[in-house]
Chains A and B, each alone.
Chain A
């Protein structure tokens, strides 16, 4: 049973065609590695799933619903989360507010005034989430822009996991991480799989992809040119697809 179904997804930037009619299905609890050269269209494809880009042709369905035309907020509500390659953090806002950005819990101030952001709840839950992920930051009330690149990456990961997602897309989530942090992200993906959460992992580190993913999809110049089972392939075959030696 596929939770995500892409069919014939096309995307152009001006006259440049970046996605060439992509078909891709992902099942609940499945971990898919998406690999390909720089500029192959991986990030563009993923942003088409989260709604940051609207596609020119084709269909995106999630959980049985056609979401081709919906806004990013509506897709998040359905359970699609993404860790963006550029992280998509607001540098001057604090750690906790970044984790809850777009999802601020509210209450009535003194029981009267509506839409009061429950900052103490945001802080408490953000701290809880970071503790659960084993993330260490100097404080949840400091601006995200003052954290290191790796710390910022873990904040972006925390944001994606806080709201009970059904599909988590990770675009180079480990690029800025130290060895130990990479291990814990890979372990996290394993845990998510057990909880039935589907994951799409984009990475140039094939070791990580082979360790975490049961299935590996290769994108090349906007086309899916290979969809491989980990147990039936090896690194040299994947590399040959990436560089185009295999058609």
Chain B
């Protein structure tokens, strides 16, 4: 078990935090009519997972990019762009239903490709490029949708967000599939090894034959693709292409990745760890909702968790260097 955790970079601390959070929420959340805690109901469990699915997929994108010592601040905005692009194609332009999927994934990947192109060719720092994209993608989403939600998607699309095959919401299956494939890619393929090496020591990666530019480009495209998938799920869940979808989600996604053990400075990261991190954020958000904590305070809490997670990591690595 310990060996498994070590190999997957999952921290015992993050598991402990998750367990602790669950206990706290279970004890402090209000009770239902029949006396059980709301937090512990099956319905609430699905609520947590549903909410987690959207930014959990974003967090996977964040993990790839951050593990290679990059950053993607545009994740939430690109989610919104993907959401309206898919919906506009199907609802406004009356194309077949699957264009909601094609459109969302293509819009996300394209935004990621633009990020990657400017980072690798223009040598502009990633946080500037993706911060710019945060504004551009959100603006584009508002332009495409004229600032209003694009409502009324066909059933085939809604299935991806609202159906419950075998009683489990579809987004949970999508998250599981995306996480499994991503774990395979990051932990077990040359591409994944090169990603971590690139984040660890770029010149070493280059000297040993890794095509650093291509690698970076692909990582930003993966990140964009994840935002596209998350945007698609969002659209399907609320039956709307929403230009404000995913607002501030990059905060959740990056925090989930960092809590999950991804090194902000690159070289270390695991998808399974990120999934634990995403669950922590999901439980935290859900519990605060149940306790009727206002959204403004929730934003503050999440921001504080991000800073605390990086701070702790810094303290820890300083300890590591000391001996």
A7-59 residues with Cβ-Cβ distance < 8 A to B are: 50, 52
A residues in contact with B206, CB < 8 Å = 52, 72
| Cα of A77 to Cα of B211 in the assembled complex, Å | 14
Query: Is A115 an interface position by the 8 A CB rule?
Result: yes
> B interface, by DSSP: helix, strand, loop or mixed?
helix
Interface string of A101-130 (1 = CB under 8 A from B): 111101001000101110100000000000
Query: Is A166 an interface position by the 8 A CB rule?
Result: no
B residues in contact with A86, CB < 8 Å = 203
A102 touches B267 (CB 8 A): no
B residues in contact with A159, CB < 8 Å = 208
Which of B37-45, B184-192, B221-229 is found at the contact surface with chain A? B184-192
Query: Is A243 an interface position by the 8 A CB rule?
Result: no
Residue of B nearest to A159 (CB): B208
Central interface residue in A82, A87, A93, A119, by most chain B CB within 10 Å:
A93
| Cα of A50 to Cα of B209 in the assembled complex, Å | 10
For the complex, count residues of A whose C-beta is within 8 A of B.
Answer: 31
A93 touches B200 (CB 8 A): yes
A88 touches B207 (CB 8 A): yes
Interface string of B293-309 (1 = CB under 8 A from A): 00000000000000000
Residue of A nearest to B268 (CB): A92
| Cα of A91 to Cα of B110 in the assembled complex, Å | 33
Interface string of A88-102 (1 = CB under 8 A from B): 111111000100011
Query: Is A195 an interface position by the 8 A CB rule?
Result: no
B207 touches A92 (CB 8 A): no
Query: Is B237 an interface position by the 8 A CB rule?
Result: no
A71 touches B203 (CB 8 A): no
Residue of B nearest to A77 (CB): B209
B207 touches A115 (CB 8 A): no
Q: Can you show 13 pairs from A to B with CB atoms below 8 A apart?
A: A72-B209, A77-B209, A86-B203, A87-B204, A90-B201, A90-B267, A91-B267, A92-B200, A93-B193, A93-B196, A102-B197, A115-B189, A116-B184
Closest 4 A/B residue pairs (Cβ): A73-B209, A102-B208, A90-B200, A102-B209
